[in-house]
């Protein structure tokens, strides 16, 4: 038949070409291959707001203004975090203004609190849905009856991680400012020259560091060094846990490095911040919270 072989060849070629096109287009539907995945777009980290509209404070006696106004008493009005004293110009007043601070700041710190107490405080703070939570805790974990009674570092970490999880369950968008623990050994070196301060220390103020304040023998020196190292370990935990949360920033060790002198320490115990010391803590916090990056 005339032209038959040529037509058959063209038909075969057409079928083969169609099969090739269908095979290339249909490999996904047949499960034989997959298109290259689109590159993942990572969500940008939330921006830090240097002007939060509400503040909740958690922590211990420092945030309660203990021994700042009168002996062995809380004085929350001079708290570095939420107080309304013009002498302190607290973080809340600096950020919110005095009138708004009175309505939109809350102090849940408790004198004597340790890290194990922080999750419960954080739950109370989170219920307010604050835009900023301040944390200053850990001195009481080191200030125990003996160095053996100090909170283990692993327990300290577990407590802080639990506190952060507690916050995030209820207030996932809250920002957190974490202050470092003061240098307790420096406080000892400042207060040991004051007879009144040492008498108050004998009532049980931070015995692991301050007991037998005048003793300089090897055992006393090693005891104080052990406390100092533990505080450094606690501060490392605070930094690390905070760094793992995108809405948390610390003070860069500023409170620990601050050289509290006679003007910044309570005239009753030479250990807790005075009104002046509270004002210095407020300054450090304000710089950290309003810095361009944490």
The three-class DSSP label of residue 107 is: strand
Burial of 281 (0-12, 13-18, 19+ CB in 10 A): buried
Report the alpha-carbon distance of residue 117 to residue 159 in Å, rounded: 8
Most confident of 40-44, 127-131, 188-192, 268-272: 127-131
Counting residues of the chain whose pLDDT is more than 70, the rounded percentage is 84
For residues 202-225, give the mean pLDDT.
95
Single pTM value for the model: 0.84
Q: Residues 83, 65: contact at Cβ < 8 Å?
A: yes
Radius of gyration (Cα) for the chain, nearest Å?
Answer: 30
Position 193 scores a pLDDT of: 85
The three-class DSSP label of residue 158 is: helix
Residue 220 has pLDDT above 90, yes or no: yes
Residue that the structure tokens 């060849």 belong to:
9
CA angle in degrees (0–180, nearest 5) for 46-49-50: 150
Q: Tell me: the pLDDT tens digits for 108-149?
A: 999 999 999 999 999 999 999 999 999 999 999 999 999 999
Mean pLDDT of the chain: 88
Domains of the chain, by residue range, sit at 55-290
Position 41 scores a pLDDT of: 52
Q: 55-290 adopts what CATH topology?
A: Rossmann fold (3.40.50)
Position 200 scores a pLDDT of: 86
User: Where does 43-131 show beta strands of DSSP type E?
Assistant: 55-59, 105-107
Q: How confident is the model at residue 43 (pLDDT cuts 50, 70, 90)?
A: low
Q: Tell me: the pLDDT tens digits for 172-192?
A: 999 999 999 999 999 999 889
Report the alpha-carbon distance of residue 94 to residue 108 in Å, rounded: 19
């Amino acid at each position: 038949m005339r032209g038959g072989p040529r037509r058959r060849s063209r038909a075969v070629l057409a079928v083969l070409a169609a099969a090739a096109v269908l095979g290339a287009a249909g490999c996904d539907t047949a499960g034989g291959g997959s298109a290259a995945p689109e590159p993942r777009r990572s969500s940008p980290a939330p921006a830090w707001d240097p002007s939060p509209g509400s503040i909740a404070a958690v922590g211990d006696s420092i945030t309660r203004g203990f021994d700042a106004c009168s002996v062995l008493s809380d004085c929350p009005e001079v708290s570095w975090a939420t107080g309304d004293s013009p002498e302190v110009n607290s973080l809340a007043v600096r950020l919110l203004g005095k009138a708004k601070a009175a309505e939109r700041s809350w102090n849940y710190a408790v004198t004597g609190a340790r890290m194990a107490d922080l999750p419960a405080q954080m739950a109370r703070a989170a219920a307010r849905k604050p835009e900023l939570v301040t944390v200053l805790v850990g001195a009481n974990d080191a200030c125990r009856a003996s160095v053996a009674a100090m909170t283990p570092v692993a327990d300290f970490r577990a407590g802080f991680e639990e506190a952060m999880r507690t916050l995030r369950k209820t207030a996932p968008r809250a920002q957190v400012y974490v202050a470092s623990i003061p240098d307790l050994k420096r406080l000892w070196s400042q207060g040991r020259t004051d007879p009144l301060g040492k008498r108050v220390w004998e009532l049980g103020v931070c015995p692991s560091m301050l007991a037998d304040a005048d003793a300089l023998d090897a055992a006393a020196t090693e005891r104080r060094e052990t406390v100092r190292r533990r505080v450094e370990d606690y501060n490392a935990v605070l930094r690390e846990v905070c760094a793992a949360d995108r809405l948390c920033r610390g003070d860069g060790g500023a409170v620990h490095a601050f050289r509290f002198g006679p003007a910044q320490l309570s005239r009753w115990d030479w250990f807790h911040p005075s009104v002046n010391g509270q004002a210095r803590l407020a300054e450090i916090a304000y710089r950290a919270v309003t810095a361009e990056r944490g």
